[in-house]
Amino acid sequence: MITLNINGSVVKGLEGSSILDVARSSGISIPTLCHSGALEPSGACRLCIVEVNDGKRNRMVASCLYPIREGIDVYTESERVRNARHWILQMLVDEHPGSEKIREIAGAYGVQESAFRSDDCDDTCIRCGLCVIACKDVAGIRSISFANRGVKKEVTTAHQLPSPECVGCGVCLYVCPTESMERLFAKTRQLAATVEGRQP
């Protein structure tokens, strides 16, 4: 067992677990979008950012990926964390104004849409890749993946065509934090070749 301080209180956690794991187990809430208990964390949304003091210096880390160490001090709601989280949320909410979930978290932190708000209300995908990981690890196939890089990065199927590998398990729909998978799901899913409809 490793002992550490979170927001001044002493908590214990297993070696190898992340700060987020330990915090959540101890009832300390840290906001996340791209975290699911069933999947390996990927640190994509950065919302879980916390401040860590390891005795030498203060660092901002993604708590879902940062493994706990003996004696570190973690601050989940310090001024610096709140500021960083504010800007992360500001960018998320401006980039994806159509997402209910992002607005909800942003609202809790008092973040409003700015003048730089995107006009595209349909695109609610934050490219966190949870669906891609779920497809690979839970469903055991790779029918969806990332394509392109930078601003053009998107989740899609091979050649942008309906995926014959997709078994339609719907795991991606379930894990998607912003309900953006719905649009892609209809596109991805290729119904099994139907023999014929039911006869009367």
Using the rule CB under 8 A, give the single segment among 48-56, 107-115, 146-154, 177-185 that binds another protein: 177-185
Q: Does 18 bind another protein (CB under 8 A)?
A: yes
Size, binding site for another protein by CB under 8 A: 44
The interface with another protein within residues 24-43 (CB under 8 A) comprises 24-25, 27, 29, 36-38
Residue with tokens 């989940």: 76
Of 177, 182, 176, nearest to 102 (Cα)? 177
What is the SS3 assignment for 133? Answer: helix
Asked whether 66 and 18 are in contact (CB, 8 A), the reply is yes
Q: Does 161 bind another protein (CB under 8 A)?
A: no
Q: Which of 4, 6, 22, 33: binder of another protein (CB under 8 A)?
A: 22
Beta strands in 46-200 (DSSP E): 49-53, 58-62, 73-75, 144-147, 154-157
Q: How far apart are CA 99 and CA 127, in angstroms?
A: 13
Q: CB 127: neighbour CB atoms within 10 A?
A: 16
Minimum separation from the CB atom of position 167 to another protein (A): 5
Find the helix or strand (DSSP H, E) in which 2 lies. Answer: strand 2-6
Q: How far apart are CA 7 and CA 82, in angstroms?
A: 13
Minimum separation from the CB atom of position 51 to another protein (A): 21
Q: Does 76 bind another protein (CB under 8 A)?
A: no
Minimum separation from the CB atom of position 172 to another protein (A): 10
Q: Which of 108, 121, 141, 161: binder of another protein (CB under 8 A)?
A: 141
Output the six-digit token pair for 110.
């008092």
Q: Does 167 bind another protein (CB under 8 A)?
A: yes
Q: Which of 134, 156, 157, 163: binder of another protein (CB under 8 A)?
A: 134
Q: What is the CA radius of gyration of the chain?
A: 20
Q: Which residues bind another protein (CB under 8 A)?
A: 13-14, 16-18, 21-22, 24-25, 27, 29, 36-38, 134, 137-141, 165, 167-171, 173-175, 179, 182, 185-186, 189, 191-200
